[in-house]
Amino acid sequence: MFTIDVEQRQYETYILTDEKSQSQLEVLPKRGGIITKWRINGQEIFYLDEERFKNPEMSIRGGNPILFPICGNLPEDTYTVNGQTFTLQQHGFARNLPWGVSEEVTVDHVCLKLTLHSNEETKKVYPFDFQVNFTYQLHGNTLTIIQEFTNKSSEPMPFSVGFHPYFLTHDKSQLEFDIPSVEFQEKGSPEIHSFNGNFDFSRDEIDVAFNKLSGKSASVTDQGRNLKITLEYDDNFSTLVFWTVKGKDFYCLEPWSGPRNAMNTKENLTIVEPGATKSATIRLMANFS
């Protein structure tokens, strides 16, 4: 049986449940369309900083924030398009804006469709008319996110899209990685480093991008939790970012459609023609052994 319930907490919260598998999502459309909770048989898959979450002035550190229309940061937070320069903060604005709920389905699976429209405020920093639809689909241990980007402008619309899932872990030394790349680039450095499947978790912060991917899936096995997370992504996604901070019980494995600063460099930048729609899909699977 599949159900959707709505509760009024600090924010209106949609609770999607697959009762057979005891899998559940909590989605906050008005707070950036974010999934804050994903649990299976009572076990949390996502990390959430509850204290930070209570402060609406702070970005959410946890769940699965949406990155659009850029991933990562821009030099001096600026980019140029069609001869005009605009200011856009790290990861864009989608994670900070209220999304509308446009469809609910509880047949064969449970899913919630959210919609974000351009408005006068978004056009001050991103001069395009758009409609973005995200559908969260839950079935068993699998979360599928289907995305649609419609350009309602008269000019081609460039963007990058990504996700920033925070996965709960209690001992990072127990993590095993299967990432389809043999090299990565650290944030803020042009230097390329070889990747042997391990990270140095004694560092205060790890923030690296895998830009040359040889496959369409990656996984992290947490031996401490007997949990394997598998991420599958389609051809729209060209970059995987790994990020974690020392002393915090999370790691992030983030699928991005383009690297940092793609709005300026044009590297792997997605462009949708006027009146057209671009679709993309990612899938997350959580398996306890």
Q: Taking the domains of the chain in order of start, what are their residue ranges?
A: 2-288
Q: Which two tokens stand for residue 205?
A: 């912060």
Average pLDDT over residues 11-17: 97
Please list, in sequence order, all residues whose beta carbon lies within 8 angstroms of the beta carbon of residue 25, skipping any fewer than 6 positions away: 14, 15, 16, 35, 37, 38, 112, 136, 138, 143
Residue 108 has pLDDT above 90, yes or no: no
Average pLDDT over residues 24-48: 97
The percentage of the chain sitting over the pLDDT mark of 90, rounded to a whole number, equals 94
Average pLDDT over residues 194-222: 96
Instruction: Give the global pTM.
Output: 0.97
pLDDT-derived band at 106, boundaries 50, 70, 90: confident
pLDDT tens, residue by residue, 47-72: 999 999 999 889 999 999 999 999 99
pLDDT tens, residue by residue, 155-178: 999 999 999 999 999 999 999 999
Closest CA relative to residue 282, chosen from 117, 87, 1, 35:
35
* pLDDT at residue 105, rounded to an integer: 87
* pLDDT at residue 161, rounded to an integer: 98
pLDDT-derived band at 272, boundaries 50, 70, 90: very high
Closest CA relative to residue 155, chosen from 262, 66, 258, 83:
83
* pLDDT at residue 107, rounded to an integer: 86
Q: Give CA–CA dist 179/217, Å, rounded.
A: 8
Task: Look up the CATH number of domain 2-288.
Answer: 2.70.98.10
* pLDDT at residue 94, rounded to an integer: 98
* pLDDT at residue 171, rounded to an integer: 97
Q: Give CA–CA dist 165/260, Å, rounded.
A: 17
Which residues does residue 35 pair with via DSSP β-bridges, in sequence order? 27, 64
